[in-house]
Amino acid sequence: MRNRTIFLTFLVLIMGFAATAQANLLQNPGFEDNGGDETSADWWAGTSNAKVKADMDGPPRTGDWQMAVISWELGGTGNFYQDVTVGESTDYVYTMWARRATWGGLSGSYGMKVEWYAGVTLLGSASEDISAGLAADWQEFSLSATSAADCDSARVIIEFVGVDKVGMFDDASFLASTGVPEPATMALLGMGGLALLRRRKASSIS
């Protein structure tokens, strides 16, 4: 009984660690908290041509709001971003769902970017151009990157340069991926622990 209790406690701790490690570091990832149509989203900063919209060539992917890039303002150039606290030399995965208006081809570019900082000092960055993958339907894009040594924060960015088509964004996430047990690994650990308990019980009976 004591061994079983210890094992179950250990398993609960592992599952709790995994859930914590996979928590989304972004606040308001679906842009639902905001000041109303064509305003900025809470927790997010950026240029004035990035605004929340209830409908922009279609509804949000989830919820009531999406972030829209108004391509005819500021020459279609700007960004929106959020700063988060991170650990140094840690693997992270940044994902964002996106689509665009599809009348004609796209000029300019849309990209995902992560900048690593120690205080106010920029240590490095990682980026991914997502222009070619943008379509009328929602698509999920991702960027994997490792934080710099001595890093204490990250700026998680959508940037756009000279775009002539409206882009829409929703359901962002920024997750630490280092040291998170895979579901299959956790299942194997659980089965192994149960087998060990059964063996010990059988030994005590004999």
> How many angstroms separate the CA atoms of 156 and 148, rounded?
14
Domain ranges of the chain: 1-22+181-206, 25-179
If you write DSSP's letter for every residue of 174-194 in order, what string do you get? EEE-TTPPPHHHHHHHHHHHH
**Residue 91, beta-bridge partner list:** 146
Q: What is the phi/psi pair of residue 64, to 5°?
A: -110, -10
Q: What is the mean pLDDT of residues 168-178?
A: 94
Q: What is the mean pLDDT of residues 45-54?
A: 98
CATH of the domain spanning 25-179:
2.60.120.260
> How many angstroms separate the CA atoms of 126 and 156, rounded?
10
Q: Does pLDDT of 144 surpass 70?
A: yes
pTM assigned to the model = 0.78
pLDDT digits (tens, 9 = 90+) for 50-83: 999 999 999 999 999 999 999 999 999 999 999 9
The answer to whether 158 and 79 are in contact (CB under 8 A) is yes
